[in-house]
A and B are shown apart, each in its own frame.
Chain A
Amino acid sequence: MALNKLSSTLLNNSLVFKELKNVASVFSVRNFFNYYPTTSTPAEGPTKKLNMVQAINNALDITLQTDETALLFGEDVAFGGVFRCSLDLQKKYGSERVFNTPLCEQGIVGFGIGVATAGSTAIAEIQFADYIYPAFDQIVNEAAKFRYRSGSQFDCGKLTIRTPCGAVGHGGLYHSQSPESYFAHTPGLKVVVPRGATQAKGLLLSCIRDPDPCIVLEPKVLYRAAVDEVPIDEYLTPIGKAEVLKDGDAVTLIGWGTQVHVLMEVAELAKTKFNVDCEVIDLVSILPWDKDAVCKSVRKTGRALIAHEAPLTGGFGAELASTIQEECFLQLEAPVARVTGFDTPFPYIFEPFYLPDKWRCLQAIRNLLDY
């Protein structure tokens, strides 16, 4: 009798779960971008239609298969991860190599540094970038400085930290953050942000192979929305190289992650509304960043707009703007524009007003052209 009762409670629970899922889909309908898939293939051989989650899973699978020292760990990664990025990997590679850790971010990163220092490949997951701050000390004071302070006797270059970042429609203060500029201020780290499935796989593999500690900030809103024809075989997307996605001569639009798709749409809008061609650059890599690609474009167009979801003050746009000013002073036709999140915490119900959406970006282009 009690058994029946318990079963029905559990059944109700699962109904509640389904209900919650429906609510979530209602929320995510309110998309603030259109996905522009990657059409060029970075590698020879067969491709497969994969979303970003599947592409990441594929990169992890390749790593665990080809590198027997590779370990994958974090909160809830064993059952596949809350975003399903590690789905089935524990089944395939065993609980010694793919495992849950206690719920403690400073522990996860510290543990990962140790694994890497001992010579194994460490792939650590922080469940949300918003929760990376407890590990800030381990990342900034330890991982980033390990090689330098030991005179290269020790390093933790085999450490890669993956973490979902960015706006998701309804994430509020602690499921929406874009913390890249905190890390951009830390020599010794490499920081990348993929804009889709193809880059997610290539960048993750590059970061895992890279001899320096890397942070991969994965825009979580793209996890399912970003579907590309992704090469099945291994390929590496270079760290530190930006990508020009659309040629233009009027304004250079620079973004990374989800914002790249906003800017692609903005470029189309600018073409129809103002009849100008904007050049769209995916910065890809925050640290080190591709100064040459950015400055080359701005020297050509004479105008630059930088857009990111993170707040304005101290955001990475400031670094880009000051460098552009320094390097392209004589070619600039207007002050460098920044369209970013506001200097507030990331809000819940006000998200549509907070984000640097296509209309705010479009208006900024208009101002640049009218200057």
Chain B
Amino acid sequence: MFVRQASAILRRYIKTNQRLKAFSTTSSSIDYPGAQVIWSDKLSFTNSHSYAPIPTYRVLNSQGQIKNASEDPNLCKDVLEKMYKDMVLLNVMDKILYESQRQGRISFYMTNFGEEATHIGSAAALSVDDLVYGQYREAGVLLWRGFTIADCVSQCYGNKEDGGKGRQMPVHYGSKKLNFVTISSPLTTQMPQAAGAAYALKGKNKVVICYFGEGAASEGDAHAALNFATTLDCPVIFFCRNNGYAISTPADEQYRGDGIAARGPGYGLNTLRVDGNDVFAVYNATLKAKDFALSRNKPVLIEALTYRVSHHSTSDDSSAYRSTEEVAHWVTNQNPVNRFRLYLEQNNLWDEGREQEWAKECRKNVLTVFGAGEKEAKPHWKEMFTDVYEEMPDHIKTQMNQMAEHIEMYKDKYPVKDFS
């Protein structure tokens, strides 16, 4: 306490001393160090109603038409096709893995329904060299980067092909090769980490993108991250998926300001709010954010408004807290995949025949891979003890050896044969 106080006094002394030079007795205003001063003789509150809501940027309307031609990202045919195909693939994988959890074949799953455009639009605007930090509902970003269905299935099964060695729950993906930092369950912890990674990668022509939900934005780590990123000039894109719900908690129980976007300027962040169901709006925003972050070494906040069509997870039945009509509205009228499909069809880049064909191919692919992944052995049980540290310390070696002796004696009591 003493040291904090004393050092605060010292700092104040030094700071004030420096400011003496700027201090003028004739000036009618003094610059407080804490903020820029604009005097007012009217006493009034400032609140979220003092400003208009931050506008939501949109390129494709709900009929799949580009309203303002100057906003057309002019992507080539192959890219557009991959974007759409990855969205559909993601949908098919989600349906099959969700069902497989219902059948008890995997322990847990989280689908991405309704948020496909946020994944694919942002991923397409970045390079695979850009580092991604996610929350858990960003599988589309991985698919875009080349993570295969087999990679997803291996992780969900925790089989020996899983890069994570079967240690984490399903959907906690990660890939060093694809610069996608392994997902962890604690919400928002990745946000200040993304700021730190961006700081370290400064000058290497890479940005860091960090995805999080609007619920996660209530965590202290979100505050830490946004403030660190601005004060330390970190080239990071904070990408908020505001899908209206954090499990059962609707957004109006999460915050009372103008969403997450309105917090950005409060931290000194350049901020964009986009229609998260419009893949082009997301693409353009992410591209602009990347360009800004790289050229200025500064962070950008993107809030993508969307709707969580999915249940929160396989452990959740969302009909307990929202109406089926509400969900149906978003599935039918505001579906990001359908909207993009309308655009493609209107531009003769897609048709019903190709739709049927691709859906069938995806289904076949996912089912085949899923079947193979299910049969694959789990990693050796000794992998439970590795990677706690880079080198296994003696006390962990001892515990591993004790377990080996135990298993030797009680072989029939453990599922040893499922583990390679």
Name A residues whose Cβ lies closer than 8 Å to a Cβ of B.
1-3, 6-7, 10, 13-14, 16-17, 20-21, 24, 69, 71, 76, 79, 82-83, 99, 101-102, 104, 106-107, 109-120, 122, 127, 134, 137-138, 141-142, 145-155, 157, 170-172, 174-175, 187-188, 190, 211-212, 240, 288, 291-292
Contacts and interface: CB of A to CB of B under 8 A. Distances in A.
A137 to B, nearest CB: 6
B189 A142 contact: yes
Contacts of B414: none
Contact of B20 (A7, A112, A187, A212): A7
Nearest to B16: A10
B23 A141 contact: no
Interface of B: 1-7, 9-14, 16-17, 20, 23, 25, 131, 162-165, 167-168, 172, 174-176, 181-182, 184, 186, 189, 191-201, 208, 220-221, 223-225, 227-228, 231-232, 386-391, 393-396
A3 to B, nearest CB: 7
Contact of A288 (B182, B196, B395): B395
Nearest to A11: B13
Contacts of A211: 389-391
Contacts of A112: 196
A110 B193 contact: yes
A100 to B, nearest CB: 8
A152 B387 contact: yes
Nearest to A16: B9
Of listed B186, B196, B198, residue having the most chain A CB within 10 A: B196
Contacts of B131: 118
Contacts of B195: 107, 110-111, 114
Of listed A1, A118, A155, A190, residue having the most chain B CB within 10 A: A118
B13 A13 contact: yes
A188 to B, nearest CB: 5
Nearest to B384: A148
B189 A149 contact: no
Given A212-B389, A288-B394, A102 B182 contact: no
B25 A3 contact: yes
B6 A17 contact: yes
Nearest to B169: A149
A120 B131 CA distance: 15
Nearest to B194: A114
A212 to B, nearest CB: 5
Contacts of A137: 186, 189, 221
B164 A150 contact: yes
A149 to B, nearest CB: 5
A110 B192 contact: yes
B388 A291 contact: no
B182 A153 contact: yes
B232 A99 contact: yes
A142 B184 contact: yes
A71 B182 CA distance: 24
B6 A20 contact: yes
Contacts of A17: 6, 9-10, 13
A141 B189 contact: yes
16 contacts: A6-B16, A10-B13, A17-B10, A20-B9, A101-B231, A107-B227, A113-B196, A114-B192, A118-B201, A147-B389, A151-B163, A151-B387, A153-B182, A154-B182, A187-B388, A291-B394
B176 A111 contact: no
A110 B221 contact: yes
A119 B25 contact: no
A83 B7 CA distance: 9
B174 A106 contact: no
Contacts of B221: 106-107, 110, 137-138
Given A107-B227, A110-B224, A138-B192, A153 B390 contact: no
A181 B13 CA distance: 39
Contacts of B5: 20
A13 B186 contact: no
A114 B200 CA distance: 8
Nearest to B19: A6
A71 B202 CA distance: 13
B167 A151 contact: yes
A223 B387 CA distance: 35
Contacts of B196: 110-118, 122
Contacts of A190: 389
A174 B1 CA distance: 8
A142 B219 CA distance: 15
Contacts of A111: 192-193, 195-196, 199, 224, 228, 232
B229 to A, nearest CB: 9
B232 A101 contact: yes
B16 A148 contact: no
A153 B174 contact: yes
B58 to A, nearest CB: 32
B23 A3 contact: yes
Given A107-B228, A114-B197, A138 B189 contact: yes
B59 to A, nearest CB: 32
A10 B4 CA distance: 19
B11 to A, nearest CB: 7
Contacts of B176: 150, 153-154
A83 B246 CA distance: 43
Contacts of A157: 390
By Cβ-Cβ distance, the 5 closest A-B pairs, closest first, are A114-B196, A110-B192, A107-B224, A114-B193, A150-B182
B193 A113 contact: yes
Contacts of A7: 20
B200 A147 contact: no
A69 B164 contact: no
A305 to B, nearest CB: 23
Nearest to A141: B186
B8 to A, nearest CB: 9
